[in-house]
A and B are shown apart, each in its own frame.
Chain A
Amino acid sequence: MAKTIDACGLTCPAPVLLVKDAVEKGSGDLSVLVDNQASCENVERFLASRGYTVAVEEKDGVYTLNAEGKGVDEGVPGSEKSAKNISLDPNESQKVVVLIMADKMGHGDDELGAKLMVNYIKTLKELGPDLWQLIFVNSGVKLTIASSPVLDELKGYSDNGTIVLACGTCLEHFKLMEQKAVGSATNMLDIVMATQAADKVITLG
């Protein structure tokens, strides 16, 4: 039974992204509904690029794309860190994503907040192999640059298999892209997919 994705009412690039998500979750045959020709052509091209055979039917302005075949995941062009590196292995232990939204922990006193954050990141090792991804956004990205007080700890986590990601838009915003010293720059899709695929998401900042 083919999985049905209803993308009616959505405009580009949303239909392609929905289908991409399904393909990357390993769905087999797919049936995709869209309500405009542009989305139809885009989704058809996407599915073809991932190795599907696509048949299109149109009725009353609704296009049904029936896609058969085993998708080929080619990753995302122009983005080294594509959704590919999100593992979905069910045998893994609990997958914890820690989303760090600021370079300080809590509000009240910034000096104290900075110390607490350093302490928190050092103590994260207690999570052991469950620490799947460490994602830094907003001013949190300042913890990934060369002068970071937790640079050694983050490198240690990274060496032990934790995926360390820093929001590219945020690095650009603070003009820190050049200074990033650990992990990879990431985008919102990776972050959305990581938080979705995680067993637990811890947000702080």
Chain B
Amino acid sequence: MRELDFPTDENVLVGTATADDAGVYKISDDLALIQTVDFFTPVVDDPYTFGQIAVANSLSDVYAMGGVPKTAMNIVGYPMATMGRGPLREMLAGGAAKLREASTVLLGGHSVEDAELKYGVSVTGFVHPERILCNQGLHGDDCLVLTKALGTGIVNTAIKGGLASAETIAEVSELMAALNRIAAQIIQQYEISACTDVTGFGLIGHLAEMIAGTGTGVKLVVEDIPFLREAYDFAAMGLVPVGAHNNRRFRENMVLAPQGFDPVLRDILYDPQTSGGLLFGCRQEDAEQIVMQLHNEGISHAAVIGTVVKTGKDEIQLIG
């Protein structure tokens, strides 16, 4: 939509010009507003769990900008005629539970009758204008850290096909419903060069946005990248969402893979994530400490997945 002329002013710190996670608007020298909105169709059958996931996903954009979420508004498209009030109540209760966990208040919302259920929240947060974490700005020699396992898109495709076991559904639901709040708090204590959250474009797509046009290369150590074991099994039988194929076609010209690289693993790296983890760059000397702190807080998948190299070329190199 670059041809459109959107209104802006000098207080817009992060706007539509860059593909960042949320917009940021300066209110004063020590306060800026973060705004974001996201909503989608159900990824799991249970309405309470879906409510949790939808809200965790929306809040994540504020965390990825280095901010603290403060207020939220529900956005609901709902087939009242066919589903009745029950599931709606459960879904909103799941969402409310996540907002409470994030110490974020609900100010209101809007719902429309819709043949297909959709839910999400718009979130407003605060950040100090000098503490904004943008998705670009990686330094050479930085370590890259990812805080959640990949593969939720593939597993959600298997759920859609009725092939995932109850245990797998429970595991992936817990992962998607987990807030990025603690991870965001931990990285506040360190010098973080750039940060985003991994969502629809997959790990490589979001990484590509972090380096596009900056002359920065990234080396990913593939065996260190966390992913769900079930996602590998399902991808190996062809349950790969269309989004992963689209992400690959869009970004594969930026990627250097060794010959004979496992195509199943490759698809996991492009798999669109629902409520994925934070992906950020930190100083090498801090990386181990950060990951240890994340593990201590129960963020068990967190791992250093690669390093940044100033090559002069926007390039993602897969090692492994």
Does the CB pair B46–A187 fall under 8 Å? no
Does the CB pair A79–B164 fall under 8 Å? yes
Cα–Cα, bound, A79→B124 (Å): 40
Cα–Cα, bound, A52→B160 (Å): 25
Does the CB pair B170–A77 fall under 8 Å? no
Our pick among B161, B236, B244 for the contact of A45 (Cβ within 8 Å) is: B236
Query: B247-269: which have CB < 8 Å to A?
Result: 263-264
CB distance from B218 to the nearest CB of A (A): 25
Does the CB pair A16–B239 fall under 8 Å? yes
CB distance from A106 to the nearest CB of B (A): 22
Query: Beta-carbon contacts of B222-247 to A below 8 Å, as 1s and 0s?
Result: 00000000100110111111101110
Does the CB pair B170–A46 fall under 8 Å? no
Does the CB pair A16–B46 fall under 8 Å? no
Residue B163 CB within 8 A of the other chain: yes
Give the nearest-CB partner of A81 in chain B: B165
Residue A88 CB within 8 A of the other chain: no
Does the CB pair A185–B165 fall under 8 Å? yes
Cα–Cα, bound, A187→B166 (Å): 8
Q: How many A-B residue pairs have CB under 8 A?
A: 100
Cα–Cα, bound, A189→B234 (Å): 15
Residue B273 CB within 8 A of the other chain: no
Partner-binding segment picked from A117-125, A168-176, A197-205: A168-176
Give the nearest-CB partner of A180 in chain B: B166
Residue B158 CB within 8 A of the other chain: yes
Residue B45 CB within 8 A of the other chain: yes
Give the nearest-CB partner of B166 in chain A: A168
- Which chain A residues border B45 with CB–CB below 8 Å? 169
Size of the A side of the interface (Cβ < 8 Å), in residues, is 38
- Assuming A12-B240, A12-B241, A16-B239, is B46 touching A80 (CB within 8 A)? no
- Assuming A42-B240, A44-B238, A45-B236, is B162 touching A188 (CB within 8 A)? yes
Does the CB pair B168–A13 fall under 8 Å? no
- Which chain A residues border B35 with CB–CB below 8 Å? none
Residue B157 CB within 8 A of the other chain: yes
Query: Beta-carbon contacts of B141-172 to A below 8 Å, as 1s and 0s?
Result: 00000000000000001101111111111100
- Which chain A residues border B170 with CB–CB below 8 Å? 172, 177
Does the CB pair A78–B242 fall under 8 Å? no
Cα–Cα, bound, A42→B244 (Å): 11
Our pick among B157, B234, B246 for the contact of A78 (Cβ within 8 Å) is: B234
- Assuming A12-B239, A46-B237, A49-B236, is B245 touching A79 (CB within 8 A)? no
- Which chain A residues border B158 with CB–CB below 8 Å? 13, 78
CB distance from B42 to the nearest CB of A (A): 12
Ranked nearest first, the 10 interchain pairs of A and B with the lowest CB-CB distance are A168-B166, A77-B233, A46-B238, A189-B162, A38-B245, A42-B238, A13-B161, A188-B162, A78-B230, A45-B238
Binding site for B on A (CB under 8 A): 11-14, 16-17, 20, 36-39, 41-47, 49, 74, 76-81, 168-169, 171-173, 177, 185, 187-190, 192
Binding site for A on B (CB under 8 A): 45-46, 157-158, 160-170, 230, 233-234, 236-242, 244-246, 263-264
Q: Can you list 23 pairs linking A and B with CB atoms under 8 Å apart?
A: A12-B240, A13-B163, A17-B163, A20-B237, A38-B240, A39-B242, A41-B238, A41-B240, A43-B238, A45-B237, A49-B236, A49-B238, A74-B237, A77-B234, A78-B163, A79-B163, A79-B164, A79-B165, A80-B165, A169-B166, A173-B46, A177-B166, A187-B163
